[in-house]
Chains A and B, each alone.
Chain A
């Protein structure tokens, strides 16, 4: 039988387990574990590729000669 709500000293469960304190629900955070990206995070120019990670880290081919440098993203934390 599903439980509507259960509160014990060590665990909270609601909506038949859809909300459970044993789970780690990801949420927006300024000190993220990872990112959700929206929009391009790669550009190619001059025959080379530049990949910009959401935290600003750039990885590129030596032949890249463009100016792409920023990615729109949302930082997410799971704990």
Chain B
């Protein structure tokens, strides 16, 4: 069930949703509409972070590696050795021969064996290998960024005006955008470019948008770069405020002075200026 009311300067349409009569359209409500658009190309620059210090050092045991080491070694061990021992047991026996009146002597030998065991020290030259943890030395450059918060504001377009040339008050701004990073700053902690969040396709946003970030080793944020759209009704401008912030932090990476933390972006903004009352 729907309802339609036209009374004086008000038009109202309602629609039954479940058991409720909901407003579908009502001229008494502040209805959103677009009062103007602008299409603008511009660039955004984020500068190199100030550097507080830098020095070089060698860590003689930066990390461990497993290494197989082999050598000839003279190794002695006690071994329990058993063997059969053979032996002769000879006795020299003499007896008196009364017939000849003399002694008659001879050797009586018996052959015998015995199983004998004992601990014996056995030594050999052996080629012995073992895995050992060894220190690996590394050269490092340490740089320390200086804490900084910088902000730059640029006008990107004028606000829409009415037929008399007066600036129309704006209630909201929606931006449809494309953009790309034209210069990528180096995040020395990961020896690579700063991570960027800018989409590769058309996107839209209101308010602010984060472009880059970087984390410390413990996961805490130490750097952010954002842009925000700002309405300045007094000057009739849509401003773009770009802000970068960093905190004092150390980074341990191979570093050369040619590596920069500066980043640049190029954008196209299709800007929709919105209002709730005509």
Chain A residues proximal to chain B, CB less than 8 Å: 7, 9-12, 19-29, 36-49, 51, 61-64, 71, 73-74, 76, 79
Contacts and interface: CB of A to CB of B under 8 A. Distances in A.
9 contacts: A25-B25, A27-B31, A27-B32, A38-B171, A41-B208, A42-B228, A48-B221, A48-B224, A74-B276
A63 B149 CA distance: 13
A49 to B, nearest CB: 5
A47 B243 contact: no
B135 to A, nearest CB: 34
B217 to A, nearest CB: 13
Contact of B26 (A27, A43, A47): A27
Nearest to B15: A21
Contact of B210 (A12, A26, A28, A42): A42
Contact of B243 (A9, A21, A43, A76): A43
Contacts of B244: 44
B29 interface: yes
B228 A40 contact: yes
Nearest to A7: B4
Given A25-B24, A38-B171, A79-B17, A46 B229 contact: no
Contacts of B14: 21
